[in-house]
Structure formats: C-alpha cells, structure tokens
Amino acid sequence: MRTPAAGAARAPGPRPAVGPATGSRWSAYVSNMPFDADEAQLLACCVEALGGDPAAVRSATIARSREDGRACGFGFVELASETALVSLLQRSALELSGRVLRVASRGRATSLPGQTGPRREGSFGGRRRARKPL
C-alpha cells in the first residue's frame, strides 16, 4: 500500500473519477495525446473536427498524475449529442500537436479484439483438472 508523500494530505471519502463526473451518455475517450497538451487545445481540436460548432462539445478533461500533475496522455470529451459523438468517432485524422489521436466511445466494450471464446481461469490458461487420489 502506498503512503502519501510528506506534506500531502488527502481528503477522506471516495477517490475522484478520472473523467468528467457528469456521467454523460455521450462521452469519448481520447488517447495518444501529447503530454504537453491542455484542455483548451483538446477542446479546440474536437470543435474543429466537428465542423467548428462550439455547441457540439460540452467539455474536455485531460487525466493528470496525482503525484506531479503532469498529463497522462489520455482524456475524455463530453459531447452535446449522439450525432456529435458518432461524427467524432468516424474521424480518422484527428490531430493535435502533430500526433494522431485515437478516439473511442467511453462505453465498455462487450468483447475485446482477438477474444474468441469464454475467458479461462487459472494461472496458465488451462482448465483445472481434478487430482488423482494417491
């Protein structure tokens, strides 16, 4: 278990969420971001990708490290409508500071790429077999 740094006090209670706390149904996860990017740049990039309509993007949040406050390279964008979300997801060349951003829906994926069957339990991926009695 990690101990807090000297002089750093943490308020009691649940840990804050990484993304927007609004729980919007139309949120997108943005990754491969430059570490020097800020929320204003991400917001402007998404507004530009959606045809320059500032009402289409509600907010942009960049995840930051708890220790030093530096950007972690990913963030979340909250959009005003489902059509704005679909339009942003279909953009293939979303670019910020020379880096091509990856945009995905914030919702949980039902299956992972390359996953073909049910998940196997155990340390070596095989089935547990009953031991033969001695």
- At residue 34, the 3 state secondary structure works out as coil
pLDDT string in tens for the chain (134-residue length): 455 555 555 455 444 444 444 456 889 999 999 999 999 999 999 999 998 888 999 999 999 999 998 889 999 999 999 999 999 998 867 888 889 999 998 764 433 444 454 555 555 555 556 667 77
Q: Which helix (H) or strand (E) holds 58?
A: strand 57-64
**Rounded to an integer, what distance in angstroms lies between the CA atom of residue 80 and that of residue 34?**
25
Q: Are 99 and 38 within 8 A, CB to CB?
A: no
Give the contacts of 93 (CB within 8 A, at least 6 positions apart).
Answer: 100
pTM of the model: 0.61
Q: Which amino acid is it at 131?
A: R
